[in-house]
């Protein structure tokens, strides 16, 4: 029972941390290597919110707005000129991530910051004591996933985004303002990354480099999902399960490299990864 | 004046300046983890080093020479330490290295220390048995730290079964290897022992194993800083409430962790509550120098302070900073600091008074019992 809950909540946390990267990769066709920095920005929004004496949960919308606003600026000034040069975009976003990490270091110092716990304690569930917060994280992942699905399937923006994903030249020919779609998508992706940062604070330590580890996991997951968010959910579930089961039955040391190894193997066998499923 | 004269004058100037080395400051290299896992505690270490240097300089320095600190960030790891040690030893030409570091960083730096023939005083508690002619340690090893915790759990909590969790590196594994040995020797039983890489932050599977094993007590030995914080947060989040001793937590970290740290047992050679004139004077001086910016002095920063005084005593006894003479003098000198009388006279290690404490709700550490002059045991039998 404990294992099933561990698998579900681990998958949920992976999903929350990689959905922002997936959104940007899907529409813009670039990997935002500053994704980890935006996760860090979100976590520091929680630090700032705590310093201002706000309710810890208020950090979540705050982080989304701050992340999206900074994402908008980054898109305008850094990403936009590089759409036709995806390799340069990797360099630019990776560099941007380093710059943001250093700016955070300058502002807050290198040390670990402490944030108030969003939801302490454990609850009884199906006969086991389980961390209340991890269950909330599971709920948050479902809500974010549903909202994302609704945006893609049920809104004008989602329709335009899907058109851009399928054939950008044709979409532009049909009068869709593709530049605006890219701009808004980048903002949403950055906002989601920051939101993930807040949701990580009860589980992770908040420091200027905290995002890097999550970026690597998210990158692997997005690579095997090939821009499909249902595939991402499936990949999170499978890889999360692998991580938990290997940690439980073999060794946590192998468990922590499970995602990277499995992603490589998956792409070797099936270049489209989970997106065919 | 012709060009040749100018060159001659310059050469004369150089010749005149270089023999005046006695006037140069004595440079103390401090490679320390300002970033990475040690970043929580490193600023307090730098602060106490600054205080020691300021105090010594105000009283005329060492043999008439002023002390100067060269701080370098080793990023808490092996790769950063190699760079930090190389630049301190070969570029900054430090006379001595005095620092608190992770075991990974210390091990990575030791080859440079040996090659550069620089005395090195290591001021962090560690897993023990690091032996090098140039290396001295004035902080505790497992033989000094673990027994008080296990004995207290066995006696007061009636604990028979234990679960061990650590970070996968020299300190984590070394501490828990000794802990396992000591528990088994004293009649206890280990029901689980798990490790996560140093940069790992997801303890989910390990915590679930812990819950299934249902031990009487938990002992953890992670890297300080981030891994310690994530483990404690996730343990508390999962509702783990058994007697919990953390071999790597210091008072400052405990304080900033807030409610999550309450009830944790720790074993240390220094807590701010040590009742001695030296400790009170030290705390007052720190308070005066750093005011609001003061990082709580702790079991890693106080040894740093004392080590600088031990080095001063050794240089004075040796009559200079020449490595061979300083190394000969180091085990023979002692200093009365906040932790009491410290002398690195046991195979390059120091007998220490150890305190068993428990973190209170407000983040302070209550001393439960004290163990006087605990011997470090056989650390380096080949060194005298």
* pLDDT recorded at residue B18: 45
**pLDDT classification of A152: cutoffs 50, 70, 90:** confident
Q: Which residues contact B278 (CB under 8 A, 6 or more apart)?
A: B336, B337, B338, B340
* pLDDT recorded at residue B118: 95
Determine what percent of chain A is predicted with pLDDT higher than 70. 99
Average of per-residue pLDDT across B296-321: 94
User: What would the pLDDT profile of B204-215 be if each residue is shown by its tens digit?
Assistant: 889 989 988 999
For A204-222, letters b (16+ CB in 10 Å) and e give bbbbbbbbbbbbebbbbbb
Helix (H, G, I), strand (E, B) or coil at B217: strand
- Are the Cβ atoms of A117 and B260 closer than 8 angstroms? yes
B137: phi > 0 → left, psi -120 to 50 → alpha, else beta; which? Answer: beta
Q: Within an 8 Å CB–CB cutoff, is residue B184 touching chain A?
A: no
- Give the Å distances, CA to CA, from B287 to A24, B1, B275, B284: 50, 57, 17, 5
Predicted complex ipTM: 0.76
The pair of three-digit structure tokens given for residue A191, joined into one six-digit string: 């906002």
**pLDDT classification of A72: cutoffs 50, 70, 90:** very high
* pLDDT recorded at residue B16: 47
Q: What angle do CA A56, A101, A187 make, to 5 degrees?
A: 65
User: What would the pLDDT profile of A84-123 be if each residue is shown by its tens digit?
Assistant: 888 888 899 999 999 999 999 898 877 778 777 777 777 7
Partner-chain residue, chosen from B34, B204, B237, that has the shortest CB–CB distance to A120: B237
**pLDDT classification of B9: cutoffs 50, 70, 90:** low
Average of per-residue pLDDT across A148-163: 89
Please give the full DSSP string across B234-275, using - where no structure is assigned: HHHHTT--S-EEETT--HHHHHHHGGGGTT-EEEES--TT--
B207 Cα to chain A: minimum distance (Å): 10
Are the C-beta atoms of A225 and A274 separated by less than 8 Å? yes
Q: Evaluate if residue A242 carries a pLDDT over 50.
A: yes
For chain B, which domains are there?
22-140+274-350 (3.40.50.2300), 142-268 (3.40.50.2300)
User: What would the pLDDT profile of A159-173 be if each residue is shown by its tens digit?
Assistant: 998 888 888 889 889
Are the C-beta atoms of A15 and A147 separated by less than 8 Å? no
pTM above 0.80, yes or no: no
Between positions 301 and 320 of B, the ones with CB within 8 A of A are none
Q: Evaluate if residue B315 carries a pLDDT over 90.
A: yes
Cα(A126)–Cα(B374) distance, integer angstroms: 49
For testing the chain A interface, which of B163, B195, B202 should be mutated: the one with the most A CBs within 10 Å? Answer: B202
Are the C-beta atoms of B146 and B247 separated by less than 8 Å? yes
Cα(A24)–Cα(A12) distance, integer angstroms: 19
Nearest CA in chain B to A124: B239
A218 Cα to chain B: minimum distance (Å): 15
DSSP label at residue B374: E
Q: Evaluate if residue A35 carries a pLDDT over 70.
A: yes
* pLDDT recorded at residue A66: 95
Cα(B133)–Cα(B49) distance, integer angstroms: 24
The pair of three-digit structure tokens given for residue A250, joined into one six-digit string: 């073999």
Q: At which residue do the structure tokens 């080949």 appear? A: B382
Are the C-beta atoms of A104 and A112 separated by less than 8 Å? no
User: How far is Cα of residue B271 from the mean position of the Cα atoms in its chain?
Assistant: 14
Question: Which of the residue ranges A74-83, B128-137, B244-253, B294-303 would you say has the lowest mean pLDDT?
Answer: B244-253
Helix (H, G, I), strand (E, B) or coil at A222: helix
Cα(B369)–Cα(B363) distance, integer angstroms: 18
* pLDDT recorded at residue B376: 93
Q: Across A77-86, A227-236, B306-315, B374-383, which has the greatest mean pLDDT? A: B306-315
DSSP label at residue B296: P
Is the Cα dihedral A72, A74, A78, A84 positive or negative? negative
User: What would the pLDDT profile of B272-299 be if each residue is shown by its tens digit?
Assistant: 888 899 999 999 999 999 999 998 898 9
| 3-class DSSP string for A87-152 | HHHHHHHHHHHHHHHHHHHHHHCCCCECCCCCCCCEEEECCEEEEHHHHHHHHHHHHHHHHHHHHH
CB-count burial class (<10 Å; 0-12, 13-18, 19+) for A154? exposed
For testing the chain B interface, which of A252, A253, A255, A257 should be mutated: the one with the most B CBs within 10 Å? Answer: A252
Q: At which residue do the structure tokens 């700032």 appear? A: A48
* pLDDT recorded at residue B139: 95
- Are the Cβ atoms of A253 and B229 closer than 8 angstroms? no
Are the C-beta atoms of B195 and A252 separated by less than 8 Å? yes
Nearest CA in chain A to B238: A131
Q: Evaluate if residue B14 carries a pLDDT over 70.
A: no
Which residues in chain A have Cβ-Cβ distances shorter than 8 Å to B258? 114, 116
CB pairs under 8 A between A and B: 114
User: How far is Cα of residue B355 from the mean position of the Cα atoms in its chain?
Assistant: 16
User: What would the pLDDT profile of B49-59 be if each residue is shown by its tens digit?
Assistant: 999 999 999 99
**pLDDT classification of B233: cutoffs 50, 70, 90:** confident
Nearest CA in chain B to A246: B205
* pLDDT recorded at residue B17: 46
Residue from B358, B375, B330 nearest B254 by CA: B358
User: What would the pLDDT profile of B111-151 be if each residue is shown by its tens digit?
Assistant: 999 999 999 999 999 889 899 999 999 999 999 999 989 99
Higher pLDDT: B305 or B18? It is B305
User: What would the pLDDT profile of A12-34 be if each residue is shown by its tens digit?
Assistant: 999 999 999 999 998 888 889 99
Which residues in chain A have Cβ-Cβ distances shorter than 8 Å to B202? 10, 13, 203, 243, 256
Q: Evaluate if residue A125 carries a pLDDT over 70.
A: yes
Partner-chain residue, chosen from A129, A207, A210, that has the shortest CB–CB distance to B239: A129
| E strands in B47-201 | 67-73, 96-99, 120-122, 135-137, 161-167, 189-196
* pLDDT recorded at residue B15: 47
Q: Within an 8 Å CB–CB cutoff, is residue B262 touching chain A?
A: no
* pLDDT recorded at residue B20: 42
Cα(B203)–Cα(B278) distance, integer angstroms: 41
Q: Evaluate if residue B1 carries a pLDDT over 50.
A: no
Are the C-beta atoms of B45 and B286 separated by less than 8 Å? no
Cα(A188)–Cα(A190) distance, integer angstroms: 5
Higher pLDDT: B4 or A159? It is A159
Please give the full DSSP string across B54-85, using - where no structure is assigned: HHHHHTT-BTTBPEEEEEEE-TTSHHHHHHHH
Are the C-beta atoms of B321 and B67 separated by less than 8 Å? no
- Give the Å distances, CA to CA, from B362 to B170, B252, B255, B257, B269: 32, 12, 7, 10, 21
The pair of three-digit structure tokens given for residue A238, joined into one six-digit string: 């499978």
Q: Evaluate if residue B341 carries a pLDDT over 60.
A: yes
Q: Quote the mean pLDDT of chain B.
A: 89
- Are the Cβ atoms of B39 and A112 closer than 8 angstroms? yes
- Are the Cβ atoms of B204 and A9 closer than 8 angstroms? yes
- Are the Cβ atoms of A203 and B233 closer than 8 angstroms? yes
């Amino acid at each position: 029972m404990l294992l099933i809950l561990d698998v579900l909540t681990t998958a949920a946390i992976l999903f929350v941390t990689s959905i922002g990267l997936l959104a940007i990769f899907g529409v813009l066709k670039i990997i935002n290597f500053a994704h980890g920095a935006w996760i860090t920005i979100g976590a520091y929004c929680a630090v700032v919110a705590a310093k201002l004496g706000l309710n810890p949960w208020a950090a979540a919308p705050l982080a989304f707005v701050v992340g999206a606003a900074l994402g908008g600026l980054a898109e305008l000034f850094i990403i936009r000129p590089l759409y036709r040069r995806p390799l340069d975009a990797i360099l630019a976003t990776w560099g941007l991530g380093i710059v943001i990490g250093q700016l955070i270091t300058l502002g807050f110092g290198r040390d670990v910051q402490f944030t108030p716990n969003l939801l302490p304690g454990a609850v009884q569930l199906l006969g086991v004591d389980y961390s209340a917060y991890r269950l909330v994280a599971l709920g948050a992942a479902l809500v974010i996933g549903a909202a994302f699905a609704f945006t893609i399937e049920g809104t004008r923006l989602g329709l335009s985004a899907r058109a851009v994903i399928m054939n950008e030249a044709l979409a532009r020919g049909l009068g869709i303002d593709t530049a605006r779609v890219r701009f808004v998508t980048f903002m949403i992706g950055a906002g989601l990354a920051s939101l993930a940062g807040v949701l990580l604070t009860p589980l992770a330590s908040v420091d200027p480099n905290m995002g890097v580890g999550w970026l690597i996991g998210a990158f692997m997951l997005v690579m095997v999902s090939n821009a499909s968010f249902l595939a991402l959910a499936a990949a999170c579930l499978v890889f999360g399960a692998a991580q938990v089961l290997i940690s439980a039955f073999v060794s946590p040391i192998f468990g922590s490299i499970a995602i990277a190894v499995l992603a490589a193997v998956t792409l070797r066998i099936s270049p489209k990864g989970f997106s065919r499923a | 004046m012709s060009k040749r004269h100018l060159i001659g004058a310059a050469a004369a100037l150089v010749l005149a300046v270089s023999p005046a080395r006695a006037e140069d400051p004595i440079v103390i290299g401090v490679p320390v983890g300002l970033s990475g896992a040690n970043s929580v505690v490193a600023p307090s270490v730098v602060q106490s080093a600054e205080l020691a240097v300021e105090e010594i300089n105000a009283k005329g320095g060492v043999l008439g020479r002023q002390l100067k600190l060269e701080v370098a960030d080793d990023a808490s790891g092996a790769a950063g330490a190699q760079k930090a040690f190389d630049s301190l030893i070969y570029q900054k030409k430090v006379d001595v290295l005095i620092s608190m570091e992770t075991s990974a960083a210390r091990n990575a730096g030791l080859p440079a220390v040996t090659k550069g023939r620089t005395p090195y005083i290591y001021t962090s508690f560690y897993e023990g048995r690091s032996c090098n002619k140039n290396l001295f340690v004035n902080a505790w090893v497992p033989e000094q730290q673990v027994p008080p915790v296990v004995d207290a759990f066995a006696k007061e909590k009636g604990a028979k079964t234990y679960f061990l969790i650590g970070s996968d590196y020299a300190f984590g594994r070394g501490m828990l290897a000794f802990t396992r040995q000591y528990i088994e020797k004293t009649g206890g039983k280990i029901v689980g022992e798990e490790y996560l890489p140093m940069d790992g932050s997801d303890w989910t599977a390990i915590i679930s194993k812990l819950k299934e094993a249902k031990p009487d007590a938990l002992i953890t030995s992670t890297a300080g800083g981030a891994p310690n914080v994530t483990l404690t947060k996730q343990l508390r989040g999962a509702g783990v409430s058994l007697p919990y001793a953390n071999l790597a937590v210091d008072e400052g970290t405990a304080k900033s962790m807030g409610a999550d740290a309450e009830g944790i047992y720790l074993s240390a050679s220094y807590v701010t509550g040590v009742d001695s004139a030296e400790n009170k004077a030290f705390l007052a001086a720190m308070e005066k120098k750093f005011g609001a910016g003061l990082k709580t002095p702790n079991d890693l920063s106080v040894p740093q302070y004392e080590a600088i005084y031990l080095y001063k005593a050794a240089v004075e006894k040796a009559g200079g900073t020449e490595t061979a003479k300083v190394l000969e003098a180091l085990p023979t000198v002692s200093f009365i600091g906040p932790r009491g009388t410290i002398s690195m006279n046991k195979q390059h290690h120091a007998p220490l008074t150890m305190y068993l404490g428990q973190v209170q709700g407000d983040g302070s550490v209550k001393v439960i019992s004290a163990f006087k002059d605990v011997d470090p045991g056989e650390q380096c039998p080949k060194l005298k």
